Amino acid sequence: MSNRKGKTSSWQIAIYEPFVYRRHSGYGWIQRCLELAYPNARLVTDPLVLKNFEGDVICLRGMTDEMSFYRPPFYYPKEIAILSTVKGLVIHRTTWEYDSIPAPIINLFPRADVVVVPSKFLKDRILSGFRNVFVIPDPIKPLRYRKKTGRSFRIGGMLHPSKRRNIEGWIILRDFLPRRFKISVIIAPELKEHKELLDKVQLFADEVLFELSDSDLEEFYASLDWFVSLSVGEGYGLPVREALKVGTPVICPKHTGYNDLEGLEGVVFAPTRRVSGIDYGCWHNFVAAPDAKAIAKFIASAEPPKVPDNLPLPTVEQFITEFHKILPPERNSERMASFNIKIRTNNIVWIVPNAQPCGVREVSEIWAGRTGGMVIPISSALNWLEARMFIVAYHPNFWEWYRWFLPSFAKKIKAPIVLWLHRKPSHEDEEATLLSIADAIWATTDKLAEMTGANGILPNPIGDEPSNEPIEGLFGSFGIYKHETATLINQLAYRLPHLKFKCLWSMSPYFRDEAPVKLLSEAMENAPKNAEHLLGPFSRQQLHSELSEMSGFIIWNPPWAAPGESSARIAFVLRMKRPILANDDSPMIDYYRRYIPTIQRFDAEFLTTLLLRHLDPYVPCNVPTLEEEIELFKNLIRMMD
């Protein structure tokens, strides 16, 4: 439908996308299903049409920052601003492209009254903390079931230039697969633009197909003994479900969006190995890469299973029914109200980044939990909010996306705004913008308060007391991207075989840097038997439970940290009443010198001598009680009243 401007007399529904998707693409198919669900909806590609739109908007876009040659980044500033003016619900139907970095994508999520995703993985892992997240699986096209009558010895798959689709794995598969098996693949149109990748495909594929009609796609699936996916990550995985619909068994790894396939007949989960995600375009984590060699051996020796024609695969009708539960075709004020589009509370509301894991978000959640506050991710804060006060947890790493949110947010609300700074602003126009928005500024340390002229000091919250007794001789550490500590722990474990060490690591969704991931991966692979490295993410409860078992902590903070920063990790274990060994040369330790002594020589040789002694001098002292912490917070609030 056309992008006509101007007001209309009736409430409308708009389907907004950056451009009209290809008919045979995944998003093209979802667009078609939404048009069936809302036959009177307007298809909009110009965001200006949606300014002060009198109706509901369904945004159809994948979470990606990659391949901007083919599609734009996730959301542009003007889109973020315009979507905040929509009079009805703003619903996002989206999936994560997995080879993009979560933080820059999720933190640029515009106003989101409702989010619809196709898998439980996306809801639980990527959008945790968002309000009103619903799982509606993508429907399978009405392809016909084709009963198998014999073996074809044909193996098939779908390929894409995205690194997560693992073209290198297909080369290995071909090397170990007997030649009587033929490989036939469908490639995405984008792959034609990558001659180097296309040349690789020619090395292993006996047949290369491009865009197929639905009838040709059905024939392709039906011609195969196996449909294979070697992907290291999927938001959902529509092709494997389409193959099952036609009656072709599938081999795929059991991870991410494929987890929901468990229990379906005809699905064989491939063995995987944990590897650094860098080589697969996944910069923020380790991934489970399918073992192509093992898959080849399995295909050569196993008979393909029969796939029944009544598998419980999602249909178009089910998709429409579930979407109508969220957004009825006719305007429903009660349904809109059920999504709490307008938040009214007499409590204090903490505005936090969308992405996780994030230390600034986690410490805000602790403060809110202890003081009866409410935590709202930034994308849910662009609605009409009424509260006693808003505290915006702020770090300069967030500036590139907060710069588009905060001015619009400040215009909408009628309550004091406090910026809780974790580091001094560093961008040219950052400080001026923040000062124009904030009614007050709090800092996490006295040094940072001095540098920024803050109105008050709210430190990172101190963690809870231990939940159980320590295990004698067990020492550990935790954090994000701390390959330096992982290597140090391994050295200590070799020197002190009578002790045990356990580390809990999480990967950052914020940074794209090869070195830390590779070095941490090497440290984990080369760990001695008495050093255990666990990879998260971990919930705060899991982390507290694991740390409560440790007899002491070895915490290294980077010397290059900014002046005035403080270590939330040290704060998290201060109340454990266990020794804390921390390096002296990081600005992040300065605030905690009042509680613990620091160590100037922080290497394996010196720490070995310390761990052979009694560590009572390194047990924190004069740590504030929980009641004293809460009273400090209340005093800051009284200053604002």
- pLDDT at position 432 is 85
* pLDDT tens sequence across 97-137: 665 666 666 777 788 889 999 999 888 876 767 778 999 99
Range list of β-strands (E), 307-401:
342-344, 348-352, 374-377, 384-386, 389-394
> What is the residue extent of each domain of the chain?
12-135, 154-301, 342-457, 474-623
Structural fold of domain 12-135: Rossmann fold (3.40.50)
Neighbours of 134 (CB within 10 A): 15
Half-sphere exposure of 216 (CA within 13 A, CB side): 8
**CATH fold of 342-457, please?**
Rossmann fold (3.40.50)
Max avg pLDDT among 3-17, 158-172, 394-408, 566-580 = 566-580
pLDDT in tens, 310-360: 999 999 999 999 999 999 988 766 666 666 656 677 889 999 988 777 889
The token pair at 325 is 């539960």
Mean pLDDT of 430-438: 87
- Residue 238: pLDDT over 50: yes
The region of weakest confidence among 341-355, 523-537, 626-640 is 341-355
340: Cα separation from own chain's centroid = 24
Of the given ranges (5-19, 185-199, 477-491), which has the lowest mean pLDDT? Answer: 5-19
Tokens 């009680």 map to which residue? 625
DSSP state at residue 639 = H
Quote the pLDDT of residue 66. 45
Q: Which amino acid is at 118?
A: P
Whole-number average pLDDT of the chain: 88
Kindly indicate the confidence band of residue 434, based on its pLDDT and cuts at 50, 70 and 90: confident
Q: Would the CATH topology of 12-135 be identical to that of 474-623?
A: yes
| 530 SS3 class | coil
**Cα radius of gyration rounded to whole Å, the chain:** 27
Q: What is the dihedral of CA 260, 265, 267, 272, to 10 degrees?
A: 70
Q: Which CATH superfamily, name and number, covers 474-623?
A: Glycogen Phosphorylase B; (3.40.50.2000)
Identify the pLDDT of residue 2: 38
What pLDDT, on the 0 to 100 scale, is given for residue 338? 67
pLDDT by residue (tens digit) across 42-76? 999 999 999 999 999 999 987 654 433 344 456 77
Distance between CA 385 and CA 342 in Å, rounded? 6
Rounded CA separation 610/383 (Å):
54
What confidence score (pLDDT) does residue 97 get? 65
Q: Is the pLDDT of residue 384 over 70?
A: no
- The CATH number of 154-301, from 3.40.50.2000, 3.20.20.70, 3.30.365.10, 3.40.50.880, is 3.40.50.2000
Q: Which pairing describes strands 286-290 and 272-276: parallel, antiparallel, or unpaired?
A: antiparallel
Tokens of 565: 């920063």
Higher pLDDT, 507 or 466: 466
pLDDT at 85: 86
Across 461-468, average pLDDT: 95
Residues 493-504 pLDDT 10s: 999 999 999 999
pLDDT in tens, 261-304: 999 999 999 999 988 777 787 756 678 999 999 999 999 999 99
250 contacts 240 by C-beta, under 8 angstroms: yes
What confidence tens digit (pLDDT) does each residue in 192-233 have?
A: 788 888 899 988 999 999 888 899 999 999 999 999 999 998
